[in-house]
Structure 1
Amino acid sequence: MQMRNSTPGATHMILQKSIPHNPLAENKLPGIAPLQMADWLQPDEAFAGQMAEREALLAAARDQVLQLDPAAFPAAQELLQLVLDHRYGGARDQVTRPDGVTVSLDWQDPLATLGQICQEDFCILERHEDSREHVLTGAVLCFPASWTLREKFMRPLIGIHHTVDSYDGNIAARVQRLFDGVQVGRPLWRFNALWYQAPDLHAPRLENAPRDDSHADDAPYMRSEQQVILRLPKTRAVIFSIHTYMVHKQDVMAQWGSVSAAR
């Protein structure tokens, strides 16, 4: 893992050397596959660097990276409990992360606590009886890729994705069926991948801002997200977790071959 320390918002060099899935393979929407629960929340070589960046963002720009509807507080606490049971042996007071840092657990601030103990970002989506879609009711999102949490907060799925050209009515219906159908203990996953000119992990973009059209094959960095969908057993909220990989092009090619060969 390569890392260069700097302040939040500056250009960062927190890179992995590999990606566990082939980011060059074609992955049409929604591109969903089953995931073993044991494979969720796996730390990698960039853990320490990414966690330091997450802590800096939560301290300096909390309102940009964390939003929670008060009604979603029970789901946020249930998610924290699930993560602790799954990753930290059921701890309830404090944990020691893989990088050796000890974190005290704040059950009254569950999303911020999650942001300090896991490499992943977490989104909470809930569907109420009067809603046709799941709505984004909470998130700790330190590493957005060309979207902004405050704009998407409390929007339904189609409202979150309305700027994505390929997210048409057919895809929206299929994604909603996935969110309706995902079962407790049987998570689903997909990945995305795009070339980037800069390795910034925190890369928000407002909806009315100009689009970045520089994502060509000659860009030096590959950003790929492992996105997992799972259901909480008590609140029945759906969790969308995001593990971000940022890898230099030469390492992507060394691991997975040429762009043309993979496509």
Structure 2
Amino acid sequence: MHTPYDGSSRLFAIGLKPLEASAWIDADDRLASNLALKEQRAAARWDEVFAAESDTEAAQAEVLALLAEHLPARFPEIYRLENGAISVAGRRVLLDGTPALWTAARLVQEDLVLMRRGDAGWRLTAAALCFPSSWRLAEKFGRPIHEVHAPVPGFAAGTRNAELIARMFDNMRPEMPMIRWNWSVYGDAELFHPHNSPARRFGSGARADNVFLRVERQTLRLLPQSRDILFTIRIIVDPLDALERHSDAARIAVALIEQLGAFNAEQLDYKGMTLERDRLVTRLREIAG
């Protein structure tokens, strides 16, 4: 049911394109459960979930103000603004809570990351991260974007991709958010995955059984006042069984087989697929018919 499966993007391709401001934040029937999980993660692992440099308070407040304006207008059936608070999913979130970025994150399914321009380029200066996909906030906090992306094949410092990202960040405009999609394949449906390999085991047989498609809806928005960039990450996890019931299952399965076949050894390792690709392809071929 989720892009990139709906035809609006080439299947399983990663790219960046403009986004209508009205579609900036997403929400679906998993909102209440996702917000409840955020509260649990924060209570149990606050140091892993939140970090912020001291001079980001104004930018954090700017994010919260933008969401307080956007959400009731975009989803009036879900969000209600009243007396300095927003009611959502059976709870009332006070808008004067601190840290402001965490208050903002308690309203939406997305994780929220602030990037700020400095002498070393764009750095990760604040984040509310409850649903990481094989990375840890402590390892990325305070680092420039080329170091954040260093584990990604082809995106380390000095590469063309790193230069393109820096240029794109520099040229962003507040009135034009951007969107991109990422995907991965895991061995369970857990949203909180700071580790890498344990989740990527699809059972013990020749056929991959425990397979979950993990899609990341990512947006970028230049904040008009602070001039920081807000990076949002919305995680959607579906079992491969759901793909079998999709009306366009065969086409989607073939697209994923082609993408897996195009990966080089470095990309396979990054995706955690070196030992898993053949068994996954066997399963996908069953779906493709």
| TM-aligned CA deviation for residue 88 of structure 1 | 3.0
| TM-aligned CA deviation for residue 22 of structure 1 | 1.8
Structure 1 SS opposite 2:232: strand
1:171 to 150, 154, 161: 161
> Which amino acid in the other structure matches residue 83 of structure 1?
L
Cα separation, partners in 2 of 1:214 and 1:161, compared to 1, 3 Å = farther
Bigger Rg, structure 1 or 2: 2
RMSD: 2.3
> Which amino acid in the other structure matches residue 189 of structure 1?
I
Aligned to 2:177: 187
| TM-aligned CA deviation for residue 100 of structure 1 | 2.7
1:200 to 179, 190, 213: 190
Q: Distance in 2 between matches of 1:184 and 1:172?
A: 22
- The one-character-per-residue Cα deviations of 1:198-233 (angstroms, maximum 9, x if unpaired) are 11100002xxx7687648993521100000011000
Q: Distance in 2 between matches of 1:252 and 1:163?
A: 29
Moved over 2 A (4+): 88-92, 105-108, 209-219, 252-256
Structure 1 SS opposite 2:191: coil
In the superposition, the TM-score normalised over structure 1's length comes to 0.83
Q: How does 1:75-114 map to 2 (within 5 A)?
A: 75-88=59-72, 93-97=84-88, 99-114=89-104
Aligned residues: 238
Alignment of 1:150 onto 2:138: yes
> Which amino acid in the other structure matches residue 167 of structure 1?
F
Q: Is the 8 A contact 2:187 2:200 kept in 1?
A: no
Q: How does 1:48-127 map to 2 (within 5 A)?
A: 48-88=32-72, 93-97=84-88, 99-127=89-117
% identical equivalent positions: 27
Cα separation, partners in 2 of 1:48 and 1:108, compared to 1, 3 Å = closer
Gaps of 5+ in 1: 1-17
Q: Distance in 1 between matches of 2:112 and 2:16?
A: 18
| TM-aligned CA deviation for residue 25 of structure 1 | 1.1
* Bigger RCO of structures 1 and 2 (CA < 8 A, at least 6 apart): 1
Aligned to 1:19: 2
> Which amino acid in the other structure matches residue 234 of structure 1?
Q
Gaps of 5+ in 2: 74-80, 259-289
Cα separation, partners in 2 of 1:182 and 1:214, compared to 1, 3 Å = farther
Aligned to 1:12: none
Aligned to 2:267: none
Cα separation, partners in 2 of 1:91 and 1:80, compared to 1, 3 Å = farther
Q: Distance in 1 between matches of 2:32 and 2:125?
A: 28
Q: Distance in 1 between matches of 2:255 and 2:125?
A: 41
Q: Is the 8 A contact 1:197 1:220 kept in 2?
A: yes
Q: Is the 8 A contact 2:202 2:211 kept in 1?
A: no
Aligned to 2:249: 257
Q: Distance in 2 between matches of 1:165 and 1:215?
A: 24
Q: Is the 8 A contact 1:161 1:167 kept in 2?
A: yes
- The one-character-per-residue Cα deviations of 1:142-182 (angstroms, maximum 9, x if unpaired) are 00000000110000001111111232411101111111111
Q: Is the 8 A contact 2:12 2:182 kept in 1?
A: no
- The one-character-per-residue Cα deviations of 1:26-78 (angstroms, maximum 9, x if unpaired) are 314xx101110111112111111111100111112111010000111111111
Aligned to 2:272: none
Aligned to 1:223: 214
In the superposition, the TM-score normalised over structure 2's length comes to 0.76
In proportion to residue count, which structure has more helix? 2
